[in-house]
């Protein structure tokens, strides 16, 4: 019996409360899950679960074994990562990751091409979604999330910074004029994001925060839609610089109220558990952190002296 695998199966069943759900997550048959549990129980000499036709629950010895198995699995993962980092063994396997459409199209796709080029044995399945994904239920290894503050219960690694600028097309500004004070945004068509500043934009200048009520004819749940609306003269939008930098450099967009700062967010790699982090996930996180850096390349021309 592979005891480490059996312990992993046991922990997966305990956390999901179902043999079938654990089998799906582990890409095993239900019969194989049952076999691993039976062999682990034989080795430990105790019954780990109470089983009925409707539910499964831990026995008292099972509760005691669960925490110890978690620690052993975490130690095993740490050992594997430490040994792998000191060898030139090629990485292989599939990594399933998710992120927003805007970040996936503008930055992550190129990063994935680079990474797969370095590791030909790796396959990456990208899931571009404009909603928060349940990593366990949807069998996702890694989520790239952009947020001011993550849920403290999540396991995450900060990868870089997400800054934003107010942007408009030259055509829109020629028609409507460029605001010179934040309060003037109330008289403009402000295109808003469902989840970030839908009705209130927070700006800073000279250490003072200004909250401006905004509104317009268009709102969306994805920055890519707002970008296209702004490019077509629809109004002013708060766009992430990872997406807008190239358009600003080419003059297709213009920064509005550039002397105001927008509080930045973090870009994080979020994963389900430290206990069983595969070397592939760890390697890809290291790669992204090194590629982006705290001052990402897309911000260097926009903030040559560093962001305010």
- Mapped onto helix, strand or coil, the DSSP state of residue 271 is strand
- What does pTM read for this prediction? 0.72
Superfamily of domain 93-162+265-299: Periplasmic binding protein-like II (3.40.190.10)
Query: Tens digits of per-residue pLDDT, 277-302?
Result: 678 898 999 999 999 998 999 998 88
Q: Which CATH number fits domain 3-85: 1.10.10.520, 2.170.150.20, 3.40.630.10, 1.10.10.10?
A: 1.10.10.10
Class of domain 164-256: alpha beta
CB atoms within 10 A of CB 60: 9
Q: Regarding beta strands 236-240 and 155-162, do their DSSP bridges make them parallel or antiparallel, or are they unpaired? A: unpaired
Structure tokens at 188: 């403009």
Using alpha carbons only, give the angle 180, 242, 115 rounded to the nearest 5 degrees.
170
Instruction: Collect all residues with Cβ–Cβ distance below 8 Å to 30 and sequence separation of at least 6.
Output: 19, 20, 23
DSSP codes joined into one string, 92-103: -EEEEEEE-HHH
- pLDDT tens per residue across span 85-140: 544 556 788 999 999 999 999 999 999 999 999 999 999 999 998 777 777 777 88
Distance between start and end Cα atoms, the chain: 58
Q: What angle do CA 139, 145, 146 make, to 5 degrees?
A: 170
What is the rounded distance in angstroms from the CA atom of residue 82 to the CA atom of residue 89? 12
Question: What residue ranges do the domains of the chain occupy?
Answer: 3-85, 93-162+265-299, 164-256
Average confidence score pLDDT of the chain = 88
Do 93-162+265-299 and 164-256 show the same overall fold? yes
Mean pLDDT of 184-209: 89
Length of the chain: 308
pLDDT at residue 81 above 70? no
């Amino acid at each position: 019996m592979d005891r480490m695998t059996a312990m992993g199966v046991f922990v997966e069943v305990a956390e999901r409360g179902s043999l079938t759900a654990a089998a799906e997550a582990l890409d095993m048959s239900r019969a194989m899950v049952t076999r691993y549990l039976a062999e682990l129980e034989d080795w430990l000499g105790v019954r780990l679960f109470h089983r009925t036709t409707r539910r499964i629950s831990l026995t008292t010895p099972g509760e005691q074994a669960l925490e110890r198995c978690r620690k052993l699995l975490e130690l095993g993962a740490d050992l594997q990562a430490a040994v792998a980092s000191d060898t030139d063994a090629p990485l292989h396997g599939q990594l399933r990751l998710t992120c927003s459409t805007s970040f996936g199209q503008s930055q992550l796709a190129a990063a994935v091409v680079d990474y797969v080029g370095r590791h030909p044995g790796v396959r990456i399945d990208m899931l571009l979604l404009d909603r928060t994904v349940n990593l366990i239920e949807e069998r996702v290894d890694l989520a790239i999330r952009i947020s001011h503050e993550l849920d403290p219960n999540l396991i995450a690694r900060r990868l870089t910074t997400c800054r934003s600028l107010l942007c408009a097309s030259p055509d829109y500004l020629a028609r409507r004029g460029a605001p010179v004070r934040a309060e003037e945004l109330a008289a403009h068509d402000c295109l808003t994001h469902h989840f970030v500043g839908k009705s209130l934009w927070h700006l800073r200048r000279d250490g003072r925060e200004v909250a401006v009520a905004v509104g317009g004819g268009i709102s969306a749940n994805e920055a890519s839609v707002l970008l296209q609306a702004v490019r077509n003269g629809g109004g002013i939008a708060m766009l992430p610089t990872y997406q807008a930098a190239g358009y600003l450099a080419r003059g297709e967009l213009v920064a509005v109220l550039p002397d105001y700062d927008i509080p930045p967010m973090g870009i994080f790699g979020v994963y389900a558990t430290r206990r069983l982090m595969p070397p592939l996930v760890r390697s890809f996180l290291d790669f992204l952190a090194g590629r982006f850096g705290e001052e990402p390349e897309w911000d260097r021309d926009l903030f040559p002296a560093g962001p305010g």
